[in-house]
Amino acid sequence: SELVSSRTLVGARRCLSGDVGGMRKTLASGYEMPLFSLGTWKAKKGLTQAAVETAIKAGYRNIDTANDYNNEEEIGQAFQNLFNEKIVTRDDIFVQSKLWNSNHRSEHVEADLDQTLKDLQLDYVDMYMIHWPQAAPSYGKQAATRVDGAIADHYSKNPMFPLDDAGYYCADMESHYVETWQKMEELVDKGKVKSIGISNFNKAQIEEVVSVAKHPVSLLQNESHVYLQQKDLIDQCNFRNIVFQSFSSLGSGDTNYASYASPTGTIPLKDPHIASLAEKYKKSPAQIMLRWGIQRGISVVSKSVTPERVLSNFDIWDWELSEEDMKSFDQLNCGWRHLLWGEVSHHPDYPFKDELPYNYVLEKCSNFAPGQGKQD
């Protein structure tokens, strides 16, 4: 029997009993994408492989990665183990990765993807996104990938997060994301990428890419959770036939990089309204928020390396939130963005200038391994 009512998802294929991977949507590119993705940002090396294997065996079919997370090698090994054990085939899984900021110049784009493909031990990825619109941190002189160092260091060492002599992030002011996008389209033509998308872009930047795109913008991945609901951005994506995908779907918990505390005085996982709904439905706060995201009709990325949480986060398909309770989330939409990353705001393509505090002064790098976090 159907487990999800038709009103909950516009344009999504409804999840049927025993339907592995959960709900799916057809992208503008024509390919089908599972809406629920295992995130690997801030997943520590040594824990990521087991998390991916646990997730796939539990029914996940979408894995979100990036070269700068410094763990794609482990994910690649997980894939090989799963293929060898005949748990899944390559065609069964949807793998999405991202082009890092240091490689926006057209001559550096393919090198970034090639390192990802080598690490993942794959011939292609299903989705490839421009990770951020701004070419910062970037030195711009040569490609920088995981093997060069997924850390912040002096630009002379060619790391992925290059710093100038004073300790500020370098910015490649001669690079703009439209030229980057056009190079990404060539990767589709070569068969190395099935679909392409963007991440952390604002509304005007989305429109600029859409206006020049020969291959459709199929996905927008941006921070979104109950405190940052992105309603206008989701409407824009629906209008442009772009699937919206949330990262930090749980507000990023205690591993968030927030420069400014939430105006609620807490984080989404500890919010009292979420707690009351969790009690009402006999679910965890994480399950409540992930179910809310899916019922909004968007794609969600949820990261954990703890096996029990990997399993419980995905256990959201045989129940739903009432219409009244869905509406109650409106009261939480306070506009709190945890990943503002003002340290790269000196680049003209930085997307969130209107969210920086008045009289914001550029800060030096303070996190020297930005993609790597503690266990959760």
User: Confidence class of residue 3 from pLDDT cuts 50, 70 and 90?
Assistant: very low
Q: Put the strands of the sheet holding 32-34 in their side by side order.
A: 12-13, 24-26, 32-34
For residue 247, give the H/E element and its range: strand 243-247
Work out the angle at residue 248's Cα, subtended by the Cα atoms of residues 125 and 350, and round it to the nearest 5 degrees.
80
For residue 56, give the H/E element and its range: helix 48-58
**How far, in Å, CA of 215 to CA of 71, rounded?**
29
User: Confidence class of residue 320 from pLDDT cuts 50, 70 and 90?
Assistant: very high
195-209: pLDDT as tens digits = 999 999 999 999 999
User: Confidence class of residue 9 from pLDDT cuts 50, 70 and 90?
Assistant: low
- Locate 46 and state its tokens: 């040594």
Q: Which of 170, 85, 65, 34 shows the shortest CA–CA distance to 128?
A: 65
58, 278, 333, 339 from 264: Cα distances, Å: 35, 18, 10, 17
Q: Which pLDDT score is estimated for 371? A: 58
Rg (CA), the chain: 20
- Locate 145 and state its tokens: 């990938």
- Locate 9 and state its tokens: 């998802």
Q: Which pLDDT score is estimated for 368? A: 80
196-254: pLDDT as tens digits = 999 999 999 999 999 999 999 999 999 999 999 999 999 999 999 999 999 999 997 66
Q: Which pLDDT score is estimated for 375? A: 40
- Locate 55 and state its tokens: 């997730």
Residue 190 has pLDDT above 80, yes or no: yes
Per the prediction, the chain carries an average pLDDT of 92
Report CA dihedral (116, 369, 37, 254) to the nearest 10 degrees: 180
| Residue position matching structure tokens 């591993």 | 255
What is the average per-residue pLDDT within 23-28? 97
Residue 374 has pLDDT above 60, yes or no: no
At how many degrees (to 10) do helices 231-239 and 203-212 cross? 10
Q: Which pLDDT score is estimated for 264? A: 94
Q: Confirm if 36 and 294 have CB atoms less than 8 A apart.
A: yes
DSSP 317-348: SS----HHHHHHGGGG-----S---GGGTTST
For residue 190, give the H/E element and its range: helix 177-190
What is the average per-residue pLDDT within 341-366? 96
Q: Which of 19, 14, 34 shows the shortest CA–CA distance to 219?
A: 34
**How far, in Å, CA of 267 to CA of 258, rounded?**
10
Q: Which pLDDT score is estimated for 373? A: 47
**Annotation says 69 is catalytic:** yes
Q: Within 10 A of 126 (CB to CB), how many other CB atoms are there?
A: 24
The model carries a pTM of 0.94
Percent of the chain topping pLDDT 90: 85
Q: Which pLDDT score is estimated for 52? A: 96
Catalytically annotated residue among 60, 69, 139, 155? 69
